[in-house]
Amino acid sequence: MKKGVSFLIMLSILGVLLRFLFIKADQYTSTDTYCNSCHAHEHAHQSWRGSMHNDTLQCAHASCVDCHLPPKGQRHYAEKVKAGLRDLYAYHFKDTSEYSWKQRRADDTHPYTFKTSCIACHPELFPAGLSKSGEQAHWHYMQHQDEMHCIRCHTNTGHGKPQKPGSNLTFITNPEKKDTLYQQAATITGFTAFTETLPGSGIAFDMIAVDSLQDESPNTIKPFYMGANEVSWDEYLLFLSETEAEGRSENTKLDGISGATPPWGNPDQGWGLGQRPAITMTHHAATVYCQWLSAKTGKKYRLPTEAEWEYAATKAFAQLKPDTQYVNTNGTSTLPPQAVEADGIGARHLFGNVKEFCSDVYSKGSNEFVIKGGSFKSDPNTLSPSMREPTQHDNWLKTDPQIPKSIWWYSDCNDVGFRVVLSYPTNVK
């Protein structure tokens, strides 16, 4: 009898000891110091230190596990074990110097941040003082909870300076004035490369001549000019500043083109404007830009057909030199043209950087359009002239809560842009 009692007492003591050790181990492995020692992402740790979740004046302090694990009682420990095993493997068997935290964030952070954790800390979606844009966005979220994640709108909340969702009323402004003010558009004297100039501005861009393809087939391609670079923010902001005051409804007359409504969020993603490619506009917006550019220059600019884009890209692809940087697939952000070398036809970033709109629909009966060339997110081994993808109009507007949704800006796509073409002779569409 005494032995049985002693055994039970020993089991109880052992149980208490194991529970104590479990609590201590759980506390120790939940500290920010412990997480950062295993992750070896000092840049991630520093960006968290500057975020609102570490600044007690803005928000309650939130540690790594508060966001990157679900609340206790909701598979917390199962996810903790899974995350621990994954991180230990990466720490011991992968080269952490080659791991791009920025690239992972650009691709998809949703599997590593739990929506249930966001809601646990912020259960009230309509607190006092919430802006009109916030109310609109949160109503939209409540109606589409299965399709949306908090961080799709509240970007950089946990790492870096947060970007507040909402209509960006200050984005469309008069562009910075350049020293050179062109008085007229360029005059084309023959089928050769030229520099287009936009009257009343300091904006100019290069057009290259792409010769014809004559092969007795239905795919015969007539000669055309193609933008040497993707349309830049400098060029696109001039269009926005000159057309936004014309009204909010579509008007395709060249002397009265209506401009875009304010974007939802930050179209340049914080990467910068200038010569970087303009991004996040819809196919409709790119088409209206071409109409404005045509009216501005007296020529007939348009989006390329898929056949024209692929023909130019094939000529460029065949002339690429080894050990030369032509492509941006950094996984992090767009780059300006000067970041890479010009290819064999004089174009830059035909591959990578941003996906480029074509005028063709993706397939018969489809409402989606062809995009070509891949982007900074693409695997470089998949890039080729024949690579084609469809736009994803509805998916790229998931977090736009406006009713109706914008026809001008995508809220959920940051790697699509375009370049323009011009038929030769220039009075031919």
pLDDT of residue 109: 53
For helices 283-297 and 233-243, angle between their N-to-C axes, nearest 10 degrees = 80
Which is higher by pLDDT, 284 or 132? 284
Percent of the chain with pLDDT over 70: 80
Cis peptide preceding 404, ω within 30 of 0: yes
* Average of per-residue pLDDT across 88-101: 66
Q: Which residues contact 53 (CB under 8 A, 6 or more apart)?
A: 59, 60, 61, 62, 66, 67, 157, 158
pLDDT of residue 191: 93
pLDDT of residue 70: 86
Amino acid at site 81: V
pLDDT of residue 66 exceeding 90: no
Contact 259, 244 (CB under 8 A): yes
Token pair of 89 as six digits: 């493997």
pLDDT of residue 146 exceeding 80: no
* Average of per-residue pLDDT across 94-117: 62
What residue has token string 């596990």?
A: 65
pLDDT of residue 247: 39
The Cα angle at residue 317 between residues 315 and 320, in degrees rounded to 5? 115
pLDDT of residue 425 exceeding 90: no
Report which listed range, 154-158, 216-220, 335-339, is most confident.
335-339
pLDDT of residue 252 exceeding 50: no
Which is higher by pLDDT, 249 or 88? 88
pLDDT, the chain, mean: 82
pLDDT of residue 307: 94
The Cα angle at residue 147 between residues 378 and 354, in degrees rounded to 5? 20
Rounded to whole angstroms, the Cα distance separating 51 from 159 reads 5
Give the other-Cβ count within 10 Å of 417's Cβ. Answer: 26
pLDDT of residue 251 exceeding 50: no
pLDDT of residue 351: 95
pLDDT of residue 182: 93
**Lowest model confidence (mean pLDDT) among 46-50, 268-272, 321-325:** 46-50
Least Cα distance to 426 among 322, 272, 281, 299 occurs for 299
Rounded to whole angstroms, the Cα distance separating 392 from 369 reads 9
* Average of per-residue pLDDT across 390-398: 93
Question: pLDDT-derived band of residue 115, with 50, 70 and 90 as boundaries?
Answer: confident
pLDDT of residue 250: 42
* Average of per-residue pLDDT across 145-168: 69
What residue has token string 């996984």?
A: 331
* Average of per-residue pLDDT across 309-332: 90
pLDDT of residue 185: 96
